[in-house]
Amino acid sequence: MASHTHTGLFRPYRLLVLAAILALGAMPGAALAAQGPTRDMADMSISEEEHLENFLALRRRMAARYILERQEALPTLSADYHAKALQIANEARAAFAAGHIKDANAMVRHGLRRYPYSDAAPILTHLAFRINAVSANFGRARRHLIDLRERFPEYPDITIAMQEALAVAETAQSQGRIINLDAATPREVISVSDVGSLRASNMFFYYLTRYGDRHEVAPRATLGLARAYLIQGQSRLEKLFDARRHYEIFFDRFPHSPLVFEALCEYALSYLIAYRGDVYDLGVIITAESIIERQARHYTDEDPVNIARIEQYRALIRRWWQDRDLRVGRWYQARRHMDAAALYFREVIARDSSSPQAQEARRRLAVVSRDH
């Protein structure tokens, strides 16, 4: 057996995922069995749907064959066979908890290869998922997660495994993007630092929207999928339509979720970042303001953090609106359409009289009134 040699300093991602998985792993073993699909996948793109369906079909065929082989083998296996497999699982679990990822991985691979039909096989498969998730081997991690659910449907910690997968996806997604509500322009609101992490998170979100429990996993996965499209929409505007559709799916499926406030704010953001400057249509700004004022503000639960966030959105909307109206007023003033210019300058002043834009609008309004 390999010694517990530490693999070195973890990347921030690995530390975050390891902490999340260990926290979830400390939960009681008795958990709800994973539920069936929450809804069909008509809202996914064809290529993504086909890829996932083909992959699932393959793993299911392999799982069906494995289940038959295991049923045939179990009566012939000795107690010592199961005991040795369980010993490896316990040692691997201890190594994983201590952060000795390479050693844990070697133990799990040996255990699954040497004792594939043991009573400890689901524990080893669960550990294989955890190890690959922490190591950012997302394709292997997803494969082990699917195998765990398909091969061992009675495994008591399957819901914990699904929650861990959700934690992995959310951590990967959060590592890859930053949202700045103080940005000067729409293109600066969302910045993407790790495209690979964002793409990897989607592999789990797609699966969890279908098979995660409807109380926690499926709502968060659905929101994660909408957020993925929102992030892509920063550079590809057509993706914002996909984002909005997925936020609307979330509202339809989970209207009483505690995540509704978060979803509404991001739904508004999907319109805000579509704004392309003060010479373009103001409709997206108006729609975003309507979502914040008519919907999101009613879901703050009087939480100071949520209230402050509403104020951030208001300030952002107001600033961009002020910039736009001031720019239009200047345009009319330059062309000697003084009545139209005065109308926009007055709007700027009335909307936020203490803003820098209002100060300029007052100076220009005085000139317009004098020259009119």
Confidence (pLDDT) at 16: 52
Confidence (pLDDT) at 35: 35
Angle at 52 between CA 227 and CA 18, to 5 degrees: 60
Confidence (pLDDT) at 121: 98
In which band, very low, low, confident or very high, does the pLDDT at 8 lie, cut at 50, 70 and 90? very low
Q: How many CB atoms lie within 10 A of CB 172?
A: 27
How does pLDDT run across 270-280, given as a tens digit for each residue? Answer: 998 888 766 55
Confidence (pLDDT) at 177: 66
In which band, very low, low, confident or very high, does the pLDDT at 189 lie, cut at 50, 70 and 90? confident
Angle at 22 between CA 21 and CA 28, to 5 degrees: 100
Q: One-letter amino acid identity for 306?
A: N
Confidence (pLDDT) at 113: 97
Confidence (pLDDT) at 274: 87
Select from 110, 103, 111 the least CA-distant residue to 131.
103
What is the rounded distance in angstroms from the CA atom of residue 168 to the CA atom of residue 181?
26
Stretch 70-76: mean pLDDT? 96
- The pair of three-digit structure tokens given for residue 148, joined into one six-digit string: 């765990």
How does pLDDT run across 219-245, given as a tens digit for each residue? Answer: 999 999 999 889 888 777 788 998 999
Domain residue spans of the chain: 1-175, 306-372
What is the rounded distance in angstroms from the CA atom of residue 200 to the CA atom of residue 180?
23
pLDDT at 2 > cutoff 60: no
The H or E element containing residue 190 is strand 190-192
Select from 330, 30, 336 the least CA-distant residue to 154.
30
Helix axes of 304-334 and 338-351: crossing angle, nearest 10 degrees: 160
| Count of all residues that appear for the chain in the document | 372
Confidence (pLDDT) at 55: 87
DSSP string, 247-270: HHHHHHH-TT-TTHHHHHHHHHHH
The H or E element containing residue 192 is strand 190-192
In which band, very low, low, confident or very high, does the pLDDT at 6 lie, cut at 50, 70 and 90? very low
Between 32-41, 67-76, 223-232, the lowest mean confidence (pLDDT) is in 32-41
pLDDT at 291 > cutoff 70: yes
How does pLDDT run across 85-128, given as a tens digit for each residue? Answer: 999 999 999 999 999 999 999 999 999 999 999 999 999 999 99
What is the rounded distance in angstroms from the CA atom of residue 31 to the CA atom of residue 209?
19
What is the rounded distance in angstroms from the CA atom of residue 357 to the CA atom of residue 321?
10
Sorted by sequence, the CB contacts under 8 Å of residue 322 that are 6+ apart come out as: 348, 351, 352, 355, 357, 358
